[in-house]
Structure 1
């Protein structure tokens, strides 16, 4: 416990910087205070929520002096919902801090002095840019109040009932409101992970930006529903005639992840079609695909350029999802091999290769680390797009053994990107990195990093 700070203490602070993750950074008496809800340039009154030996954490109570970069939020839920953090910060400033955070992580964690970081590429759209949104159910039981459906409250497991959301299209919020009211009328409660009782878990909505197709995925527990979910699917098709497909999936695991384990039924084809550049993609309910289509087109183009393909290279695409990056490179490569853990995504990738008439692509379902050990073709270029947790340490070690000429690392988390680059640093050097803002108004930033093998 700090001798200077104590929980509940009120401080007046000048916010100097933005920390990685989005909190403001202030200093007082030589100590650092991380201030939730504060922007650089503000003077705030804040209450300490955590006191440690050398720093404190605090929440803003009042803004005493405003930053010149403040802007009016555009959503009625801002400040309560955790979906957006920076609607009140000018977009140019958002990009500035995101660029700086990528550089900070590479310097601090990867120990790269003055890494070459390009300015963050803006999202082509600042509202209505998301092609996928995940909403959670809560409550509905006798003691938990009316059923809720929406997004998590900022810093909480509680759910904010969303009436509007400016990240996807206006239709998305209409679907959320309609599903909430329908599910309330069933009087069936949401799933409670503590008791493992209840039904409703997640609502996932995909809206493709180039083909204008819509998928609704309803993820529930394995509890009996008495036909309610089939009735909901029929009702959605009647209320939203443009709806392409409804998928019902169940999830047994307690973990609150909007990913189905078993598909129960679907209406229509069970997938939607999207296009990035001149490549068409089939996307199933549980397949990974970049959630900002226009920005993803810019990111894919940068990754292809970084790969430096001449038509003779064998490309290995790790964590390939439904084939996004690998297929974007297929025209310029001799061959593409993709590895992905989710079998449904691999089926999509194979279908996408056929759809685009690529005969030089192979996709493998299985654990990335295990499949790396069984590769028959040594890659010249590796493109890797791992989850936020980054690559498995042994997968990074396996890449060192494969010794490709170039590694194109696409990351959604600069800290794990920096960690993995450090592990590869004995044999590879970071040439340059290009941040891309696929998530405006949030602290998240994507990054394409080019690593080239050092000459012995």
Structure 2
């Protein structure tokens, strides 16, 4: 993949872009195998490749420049805006909306936030595209002051980008490096973006998490569904369930499926998906995964975990190790934390594993592993 931004030294986010893609994929497979250690009983399936470009369904663009000439991209070392609208990672639908968003910034008089001076309003623009080409737009602001102007000019924005379904404002008042704040103001009648994956409708709300690479996410869910269906467990927990991707895909394999997620927005989305699909045996609850497990009166036969990069808590690893859970499907975005958690759960042994290249051109990837309990003498 060629990138003029990389060649010009403007952006080096794609650290592996100069390597042939086949070499990237082989290196990730080798890295995952090294992280799991010498485990001859693990069956490694063929890695799932991604399109090399135009795979990102989500753009997180820092806004710089001026009202008349805004930049959408990143900030350089001096906190000046670097425009990356032509980045090859984003889907065509996201690319097409960038010029219209720049025009809207000028029309609504949204002053880009100046990091050194700590002045201005518009910090980030977050855009997500569904598999059907519909869009969600989130404008991250320092304060609520520009909201009235955004509402006034919103009809013009919706006309210029007909694919827009959900538009919101996120408030991030502090001078901080994080991308978004806690408070969200929905500006459109629609509050969710439908993400249809493998024939299942999932719903994304502004503060919910969804995998960045839709084709690879679809393959990830299919693989988990295949492994779980082959075990036919009576009960399943999906911990860190997000908008319910794993639970919804595995709903037909068990009599009872429970999804646990800290984000109430994500839980509401997952519940909507289950209702629309008529999945009465699937329930979702807001809560902490570790606290839920420790407080439960009984354990399920199978647990699916999809934790953040830091992995599982020591307490949850300890509970899984001592519980009656027979199998764990572990989806990890960091092979190192997966290896650490496996060491803390020696009775749960990986039998199958597969690399899913969610992030081509970078060192990041996803690993899915099927763990089975071994009763040691």
- Candidates 3, 6, 21, aligned match of 1:91: 21
Question: Where does residue 118 of structure 1 map in the other structure?
Answer: 45
1:368-407 deviations in Å (ceiling 9; x for gaps): 2222222244211010001112112222222223331001
Unpaired runs of at least 5, structure 2: none
Deviation per residue, 1:210-244 (Å, 9 max, x gap):
x2211111121225226233245333212112222
- Whose Rg is larger? 1
Give runs of aligned pairs for residues 67-146 of structure 1, distance below 5 A: 73-79=1-7, 80-107=10-37, 112=39, 116-123=43-50, 125-138=51-64, 140=66
User: Paired residue for 2:270?
Assistant: 349
For residues 293 and 189 of structure 1, the distance between their equivalents in structure 2, rounded to whole angstroms, comes to: 30
Range 429-438 or range 231-240, more displaced: 231-240
How does the TM-score come out when normalised to structure 2?
Answer: 0.89
CA contact (8 A) 2:134 2:165 kept: yes
CA distance in 2, matches of 1:152, 1:113: 46
Q: 1:255 to 1:416 in 2, by over 3 A?
A: farther
* 1:227 partner SS: helix
Structure-2 separation of matches of 1:397 and 1:232: 54
Task: Please point out which of 89, 95, 107 is paired with 1:167.
Answer: 89
> What is the distance in 2 between the residues matched to 1:207 and 1:295?
15
User: Aligned partners of 2:79 and 2:366: how far apart in 1?
Assistant: 26
**Alpha-carbon deviation of 1:308?**
4.6
User: How much does 1:281 deviate?
Assistant: 0.8
Number of equivalences: 373
Larger helix proportion, structure 1 or 2? Answer: 2
CA 1:376–1:259: 2 relative to 1, 3 Å: farther
Measure how far apart 1:421 and its partner are. Answer: 1.2
- Name the residue aligned to 1:203: 125
Alpha-carbon distance change, 198 to 346 in structure 1, aligned in 2, over 3 angstroms: same
Are residues 337 and 255 of structure 1, via their aligned partners in 2, closer, same or farther at CA, if it must alter by over 3 Å?
farther
Aligned partners of 1:311 and 1:333 also within 8 Å: yes
Which of the numbers 353, 366, 371 marks the counterpart of 2:292? 371
> Are the equivalent residues in 1 in contact too, given 2:44–2:352 (CA < 8 A)?
yes
Using the TM superposition, give the Cα deviation of residue 138 of structure 1 relative to its aligned residue in structure 2, in angstroms.
3.9
Gaps of 5+ in 1: 1-72
1:275 positional shift: 1.6
For residues 20-63 of structure 1, what are the alpha-carbon distances to aligned partners after superposition, in whole Å with 9 as ceiling and x for unaligned?
Answer: xxxxxxxxxxxxxxxxxxxxxxxxxxxxxxxxxxxxxxxxxxxx
Offset of 1:115 from its aligned partner? 5.1
- Give the match for residue 450 of structure 1: 370
**Structure 1 residues 114, 443: CA separation in 2 closer, same or farther (over 3 Å shift)?**
farther
Aligned residue in 2 for 1:16:
none
Partner of 1:149: 72
- Checking the alignment, whether the CA contact within 8 Å between 1:191 and 1:220 is kept in structure 2 is no
Q: CA deviation at 1:166?
A: 2.1
Decide whether aligned partners of structure 1 residues 163 and 130 sit closer, same or farther in structure 2, where only a CA change above 3 A counts. closer
Report the Cα distance in structure 2 between the residues aligned to 1:286 and 1:97, rounded to whole angstroms: 33
Q: Which has the higher contact order (CA 8 A, sep 6+)?
A: 2
- Give the secondary-structure state (helix, strand or coil) at the position aligned to 2:44: coil
The answer to which of 200-209 and 112-121 deviates more is 112-121
User: Equivalents in 2 of 1:159, 1:399: separation in Å?
Assistant: 47
1:431 aligns with 2:359: no
Q: Distance in 2 between matches of 1:85 and 1:114?
A: 33
Cα drift, residue 78 of structure 1 = 2.5
Question: Does the aligned pair in 1 maintain the 2:229–2:250 contact within 8 Å?
Answer: no
